């Protein structure tokens, strides 16, 4: 790969973000017609990646990149194989249609520019996700899709339901993202690799690692949240609060498949184990069944589609986990088919909503004549979804039955699960595509009408592709299915299935599926009523569980905050001093650094002891003082005693300063305190006295022990000797203390002077503020009143 084309790919990967930057200004200029221009960007992306197709179809890969953080061996690098390519083409191709569709759908929305910006940013993130080679890049893009999804779901942010759905999606997928991050870090730790392409060549390294299960669970945590697997599926239907283009693009065709992409990407290194082949089909199968059953319950077109999306994702996970080549090929075909038909059906739902004023299936009917193009797209897509000849969905269904069916218990069970899921999806697909269009004309809008070209273009093109890809299946397989299936399986897989029906088990199963589906379709109203009763009987679901969880977190944090931020200063002080005592005492005790029993030598003079005793008495007197004056005087006593101590132990400078400062302190304290009407003593209840004095004594003890320990180690006089030696010779001063202050540590003293000055200014300002100015304001907030 030469540098030039490397740059082109890099620019192409960046282009949606660049377009997102200019989208708002462009939309202000051109209104909704900006869509035509903006859709060129994904179209160009599509063309760029389509040009890789021949090389990749021949078994090649396209790589490139830059060194990003060389010291951590992190690169900005991409890796395009069959899997990435198919995803990139789906993202950019459907993306172009979605941009056009958005222009029509949100034509009169004041924030259309912002919407374009968000959706293009999402496109760039999703593109980056599927092209990333390095784990870090992959993770960053993964989280970016969650964030852009959050922005898009909450696009209509004035509605509480949108906000809730947005937060829910972010919490669930973001939480999964963290699990994935842990998983990727673990993989990095085990293999020492930071790139997917190298990891894919690492063979059994991960499978044989003792951390396999942990990696497996963490990766699944990421994949299952992103791809809405039961019981974490609930955020996806709620995400339907987003405008329809978002539902069609993020929550059906692309983003929710990121989890499946991850599983498919790691299948060659994580798959083929008992855990993989058991857990994935079980969760996938459960999701498939639960999704379809819940879909039956709905009457809103978008919600019906959303729940079938959940089931389709379940089916994909099931197939990925099943592990046989055929099953993987079936999964690959189904993924491509699903992106086309589900994207189209979502856009149809939006078109119906736009033209007829409602999405409620019970209030719609007979729109066939009025919305012929929409109807055509709907019916073609539903045929593909149902897996009926001659659409691409048919190929997918044949292949997956071919892959699943075998006569052992486990494959039989999985085949049965897929059969039930497919049958129910058949019914719902046709309910969406037929019920609004057949029968008597019913609509909420007074003038139901066919939608704007921007709106019908997307579904029409996708529906057409559902047919064309099936018709020219050898081409589709050569460029997309086979390379993708090979990348997923980790070995060369060729997909041959075509529209020529083969008599055999799959065709029989397909036929039975269709019969089952038709039966359910005819009984849909009764089935819906039944499901509604069952769900009402159950009552609780993960969706409500999410609310309970969030409320629980809020209550918990409120309680915790209320406990540790009590608003009572003495509690904060207690906590502080307990920690001070513990910080000094615990390390000494734990490390066995307690001081030896001190020697009470008798080399102390009587007058020294006397002054120390005076200081102690002064201190006790401060505590015991019954009135202010006594307290102030006692404070003075201990201060002067300290000054005397300094004098006795060779520090006359300290002594003079201390004398001066203590005098000043006592004077200003007396001045201030006599002006305040204060309660003379503080009466604490006995219990508090005990607690407080315990804390105080512990602190005292801690400092005593620390200081004892300090004086028991030999004194290191290096610094003091330095000052003694150089004070006269360098600084020309005989008083060493003064020399240190004004010379050796002159800058320090300068800072000290600044502090004193600032304190003086602050005092001056405090006194000059006229009291009473804000008094009324403060009093209004006083809780005692």
Contacts to another protein from residues 75-114, by CB under 8 A: none
Q: How far is the CB of 632 from another protein (least distance, A)?
A: 9
β partners of residue 80: 62
Task: Give the span between the Cα atoms of 173 and 167, in whole angstroms.
Answer: 10
Residues in contact with another protein, shown as a per-residue x/- string from 709 to 738 under the rule CB under 8 A: -xx---x-x-xx--xx--xx-----xxxx-
Closest CA relative to residue 385, chosen from 400, 397, 376, 402: 397
β-pairing verdict for 62-69 and 74-80: antiparallel
Nearer to another protein, 582 or 736 (CB): 736
638 contacts another protein (rule: CB under 8 A):
yes
* Nearest Cα residue to 256 out of 185, 179, 342: 342
DSSP state of 678: -
CA distance 192 to 209: 13
State the minimum distance, in angstroms, from the CB of residue 173 to another protein. 17
Strands of 408-496 (E only): list them.
none
> Which residue, 531 or 654, has its beta carbon nearer to another protein?
654
DSSP letters, 396-422, are HHHHHHHHH--SSHHHHHHHHHHHHHH
Q: Which single residue is written with the structure tokens 């699903």?
A: 338
Could you say which of 541, 593, 684, 730 contacts another protein (CB under 8 A)? 684
Task: Output the smallest distance, CB 236 to another protein, in A.
Answer: 18
Q: For residues 69 and 697, which CB has a smaller minimum distance to another protein in the complex? A: 697
For another protein, give the closer residue by CB, 501 or 541. Answer: 541
- Compare residues 409 and 679 and give the one whose CB is closer to another protein: 679
Residue from 410, 496, 558, 607 touching another protein (CB under 8 A): that is 558
Which of 592, 685 has the CB closer to another protein?
A: 685
User: Out of 40, 438, 515, 668, which residue is the one contacting another protein (CB under 8 A)?
Assistant: 668
Among 485, 417, 462, 691, residue whose Cα is nearest residue 575: 691
DSSP annotation of 87 reads H
DSSP 82-128: HHHHHHHHHHHHHHHHHHHHHHHHTTT-TTHHHHHHHHHHHHHHHHH
| CB closer to another protein, 114 vs 163 | 163
Instruction: Please state, in angstroms and rounded to a whole number, the distance separating the CA atoms of residues 485 and 332.
Output: 6
What is the rounded distance in angstroms from the CA atom of residue 482 to the CA atom of residue 700?
Answer: 78
Among 1, 441, 535, 704, indicate the residue that binds another protein (CB under 8 A): 704
Scanning residues 126 to 155, which ones bind another protein (CB under 8 A)?
A: none
Q: Which stretch binds another protein (CB under 8 A): 175-183, 294-302, 537-545, 644-652?
A: 644-652
* Residue among 163, 173, 172, 270 nearest 212 (CA): 270
Q: How far is the CB of 164 from another protein (least distance, A)?
A: 4
Q: Tell me the two tokens of residue 631.
A: 């307290």
With CB under 8 A as the contact rule, the residue among 567, 592, 685, 776 that binds another protein is 567
Candidates 5, 362, 445, 693: give the one binding another protein (CB under 8 A): 693
- Rounded CA-CA distance 650/640 in Å is 16
* Binding residue (CB under 8 A) for another protein from 522, 526, 649, 746: 649
Contact assessment for residue 736 and residue 723, using Cβ atoms and an 8 Å cutoff: yes
The token duo for 343 is: 């994207």
In the block, tokens 């019914």 appear at 427
563 binds another protein (CB under 8 A): no
Site string for another protein, 575-614 (x = CB under 8 A): --x--------------------xxxx-xx---xx--x--
Size of the site for another protein (CB under 8 A): 112
Rounded Cα gap, residues 181 and 140, in angstroms: 10
Decide whether 66 or 649 has the Cβ nearer to another protein: 649
Are the C-beta atoms of residues 170 and 164 closer than 8 Å to each other? no
For residue 294, the tally of other CB atoms under 10 A from its CB is 23
* Of 468 and 705, CB closest to another protein: 705
Element (H, E) at 62: strand 62-69
159-198 residues near another protein, rule: CB under 8 A: 160, 163-164, 167
Task: Please pick, from the candidates 574, 588, 630, 633, the single residue that binds another protein as defined by CB under 8 A.
Answer: 574
Q: Which stretch binds another protein (CB under 8 A): 7-15, 257-265, 529-537, 690-698?
A: 690-698
Q: Which is nearer to another protein, 413 or 706 (CB)?
A: 706
Q: Tell me: does residue 537 bind another protein (CB under 8 A).
A: no
Q: Please tell me whether residue 157 binds another protein under the rule CB under 8 A.
A: no
CB-based contacts of 665, cutoff 8 Å, min separation 6: 635, 636, 639
**Residue span 198-237 as binding mask against another protein, x where in contact by CB under 8 A, dash where not:** ----------------------------------------
User: Considering only 34-42, 266-274, 291-299, 666-674, which stretch makes contact with another protein by CB under 8 A?
Assistant: 666-674
- Decide if residue 657 touches another protein (CB under 8 A): yes
Interacting residues with another protein between 738 and 777 (CB under 8 A): 740-741, 745, 748-749, 752, 755-756, 759-760, 762-763, 766-767, 769, 771, 774-775
Q: How far apart are the first and last CA of the chain?
A: 77
What minimum distance in Å lies between the beta carbon of 680 and another protein? 10
Cβ atoms of 209 and 190 within 8 Å: the answer is: yes
Single residue of 210, 650, 685, 776 touching another protein by CB under 8 A: 650
- CA–CA separation, 379 vs 367, rounded Å? 13
CB proximity list for 568: less than 8 A, separation 6 or greater: none
Q: Which stretch binds another protein (CB under 8 A): 130-138, 383-391, 422-430, 675-683?
A: 675-683
User: At its nearest, how many Å lie between another protein and the CB of residue 678?
Assistant: 6
Collapse the DSSP code of 388 into the 3-class scheme (helix H, G, I; strand E, B; otherwise coil) and give the result.
coil
Token pair of 168 as six digits = 């829910």
Preceding amide of 611 cis, omega within 30 = no
Site for another protein in 430-489 (CB under 8 A): none
Min dist CB 715 to another protein, Å, is: 5
- Comparing CB distances to another protein, the nearer of 537 and 778 is 778
């Amino acid at each position: 790969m030469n540098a030039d084309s490397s740059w082109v790919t890099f620019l192409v990967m960046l282009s949606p973000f660049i377009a997102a930057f200019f989208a708002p200004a462009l939309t202000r200029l051109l209104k909704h017609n900006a869509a035509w221009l903006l859709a060129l960007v994904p179209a160009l992306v599509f063309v760029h990646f389509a040009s890789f197709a021949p090389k990749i179809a021949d078994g090649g890969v396209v790589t490139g990149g830059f060194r990003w953080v060389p010291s951590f061996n992190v690169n900005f690098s991409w890796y395009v194989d069959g899997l990435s390519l198919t995803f990139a083409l789906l993202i950019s191709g459907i993306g172009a249609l979605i941009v056009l569709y958005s222009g029509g759908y949100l034509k009169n929305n004041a924030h259309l520019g912002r919407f374009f910006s968000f959706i293009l940013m999402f496109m760039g993130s999703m593109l980056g996700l599927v092209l990333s080679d390095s784990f870090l890049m992959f993770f960053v893009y993964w989280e970016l899709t969650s964030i852009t999804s959050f922005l898009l779901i909450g696009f209509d942010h004035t509605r509480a339901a949108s906000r809730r759905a947005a937060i829910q999606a972010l919490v669930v997928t973001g939480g999964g993202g963290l699990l994935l991050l842990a998983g990727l870090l673990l993989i990095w730790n085990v293999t020492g690799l930071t790139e997917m392409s190298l990891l894919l060549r690492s063979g059994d390294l991960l499978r044989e690692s003792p951390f396999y299960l942990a990696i497996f669970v963490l990766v699944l945590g990421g994949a299952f949240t992103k791809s809405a697997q039961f019981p974490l599926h609930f955020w996806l239907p709620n995400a339907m609060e987003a405008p329809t283009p978002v539902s069609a693009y993020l929550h059906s065709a692309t983003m929710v498949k990121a989890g499946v992409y991850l599983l498919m990407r790691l299948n060659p290194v994580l798959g083929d184990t008992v855990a993989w082949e058991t857990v994935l089909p079980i969760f996938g199968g459960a999701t498939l069944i639960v999704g379809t059953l819940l879909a039956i319950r709905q009457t809103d077109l978008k919600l019906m589609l959303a729940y079938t999306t959940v089931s389709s994702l379940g089916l994909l996970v099931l197939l990925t986990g099943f592990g046989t080549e055929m099953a993987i090929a079936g999964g690959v075909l189904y993924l491509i088919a699903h992106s086309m038909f589900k994207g189209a059906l979502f856009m149809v739902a939006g078109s119906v909503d736009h033209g007829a004023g409602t999405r409620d299936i019970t209030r719609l009917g007979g729109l066939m004549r009025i919305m012929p193009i929409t109807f055509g797209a709907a019916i073609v897509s539903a045929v593909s979804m149902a897996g009926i000849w001659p659409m691409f969905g048919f190929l997918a269904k044949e292949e997956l039955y071919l892959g699943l069916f075998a006569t052992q218990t486990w494959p039989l069970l999985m085949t049965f699960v897929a059969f039930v899921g497919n049958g129910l999806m058949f019914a719902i697909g046709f309910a969406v595509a037929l019920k609004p269009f057949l029968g008597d004309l019913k609509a909420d809008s007074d003038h139901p009408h066919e939608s704007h070209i921007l709106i019908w273009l997307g579904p029409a093109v996708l529906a057409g592709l559902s047919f064309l890809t099936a018709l020219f299946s050898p081409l589709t397989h050569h460029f997309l299915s086979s390379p993708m299936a090979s990348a997923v399986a980790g070995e060369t897989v060729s997909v041959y299935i075509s529209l020529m029906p083969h008599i055999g088990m799959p065709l029989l199963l397909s036929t039975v599926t269709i019969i089952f589906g038709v039966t359910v379709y005819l009984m849909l109203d009764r089935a819906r009523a039944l499901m509604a009763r069952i769900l009402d009987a159950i009552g609780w679901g993960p969706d409500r569980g999410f609310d309970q969880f969030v409320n629980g977190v809020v209550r918990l944090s409120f309680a915790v905050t209320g406990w540790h931020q009590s608003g009572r200063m003495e509690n904060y002080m207690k906590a502080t001093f307990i920690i001070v005592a513990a910080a000094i005492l615990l390390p000494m005790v734990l490390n066995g650094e307690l001081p030896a029993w001190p020697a009470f030598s008798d080399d102390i003079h009587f007058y020294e002891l006397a002054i120390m005793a005076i200081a102690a008495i002064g201190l006790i007197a401060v505590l015991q003082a019954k009135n202010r004056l006594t307290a102030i005087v006692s404070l003075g006593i201990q201060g002067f005693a300290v000054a005397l101590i300094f004098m006795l132990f060779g520090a006359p400078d300290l002594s003079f300063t201390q004398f001066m400062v203590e005098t000043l302190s006592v004077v200003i304290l007396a001045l201030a305190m006599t002006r305040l009407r204060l309660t003379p003593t503080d009466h604490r209840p006995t219990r508090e006295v005990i607690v407080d004095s315990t804390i105080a004594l512990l602190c005292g003890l801690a400092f005593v022990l620390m200081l004892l320990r300090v004086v028991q180690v030999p004194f290191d006089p290096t610094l003091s000797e330095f000052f003694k030696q150089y004070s006269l010779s360098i600084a020309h001063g005989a008083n060493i203390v003064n020399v240190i202050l004004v010379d050796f540590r002159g800058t320090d003293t300068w800072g000290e002077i600044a502090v004193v000055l600032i304190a003086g200014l602050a005092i001056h300002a405090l006194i000059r503020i006229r009291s009473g100015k804000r008094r009324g304001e403060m009093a209004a907030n006083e809780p005692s009143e």
